[in-house]
Amino acid sequence: MAQDKSQQFATRRSTLRIALAGAVSLGAPWLAHARNSVGNITMWKTPNCGCCKAWVTHLQKNGFSLVVNDVEDTAPIRLKLGMPENMGSCHTATLGDYVLEGHVPASEIRQLLREKPKGLGLAVPGMPMGSPGMEMDGTRDAYNVMLVLRDGNSRVYKTYPAIANSNAFNNLKETS
């Protein structure tokens, strides 16, 4: 009988090893996806906004997954989430407990997730040319990514300087 019990334990261990190996191999693609996915963002935008679609592409290329909701007006969403009107842009998003407003670069979203500052979230007010989703001919307007605090105040989180497209400038000189 003692031998029968040891055989039963050996069989159970073998079965558990096989089951564990199977679970790991089945779970591996999901684990790989989880490692590659930076975070799940829920976004609200108007249906025909091309720059919003370009921002989605920017985030997806940087490892974020998004759920996109088309709405007629993003202002009520922004208001409900507590984002001040003066920080408004063309789309609003959430990531965990944070709110993202406008064309926030993926690098600052990653920094937000690493640092976990106390605040409502990040905003790029308006629609500055050259911000993610607003790219045009290598030109970029200077803009700030703002850390919006829960009391409605904000501070600069990251500054992006202007970049002039030298080709565009040279083309202007040639036609003058």
Let me know if residue 175 belongs to a domain.
no
State whether 132 and 45 are in the same domain. yes
State whether 20 and 97 are in the same domain. no
pLDDT digits (tens, 9 = 90+) for 81-108: 999 999 999 999 999 999 999 999 999 9
State whether 64 and 9 are in the same domain. no
Q: Helix, strand or coil for residue 138?
A: coil
Let me know if residue 165 belongs to a domain.
no
CA distance 93 to 77: 9
CA distance 88 to 26: 44
- For every residue of 110-137, DSSP letters joined together read HHHHHH--SSSEEEE-S--TTSTT--BT
**Residues of the domain holding 30:** 1-36
Domain CATH for 44: 3.40.30
Token duo for residue 49: 């906004």
State whether 30 and 56 are in the same domain. no
List phi, psi (to 5°) of 12: -65, -45
pLDDT digits (tens, 9 = 90+) for 102-161: 999 999 999 999 999 999 999 999 999 999 999 988 899 999 999 999 999 999 999 999
State whether 45 and 65 are in the same domain. yes
State whether 46 and 105 are in the same domain. yes
State whether 14 and 75 are in the same domain. no
Let me know if residue 172 belongs to a domain.
no
Q: In the chain, how many domains are there?
A: 2
